[in-house]
Amino acid sequence: MAQSPQPAADDRRLLDVLEERPCSFCETGTLERGLYKGNNAVVCDNCGTPRAQLWTPS
């Protein structure tokens, strides 16, 4: 794949895909939508680790 920037719509779909998945950084956490440093992100509800974040303003 070429390293071209992806449209924001694909980034938002990424958050949809990751939401409610088990956290890969801890045993009991579940990923949920949230904000990380002011960006839309998917963050673990247990350890707070961001799994993905968007820099695109909403």
Task: Kindly state the smallest distance separating residue 6's Cβ from Zn ion, in Å.
Answer: 25
Nearer to Zn ion by C-beta: 7 or 45? 45
Nearer to Zn ion by C-beta: 39 or 46? 46
State how far Cα 11 lies from the chain centre: 9
Nearer to Zn ion by C-beta: 33 or 56? 33
Residues near Zn ion (CB under 5 A) are 23, 25-26, 29, 44, 46-47
Nearest to 19 by CA among 34, 36, 38: 34
Residue 5 has a CB neighbour count (10 Å cut-off) of 7
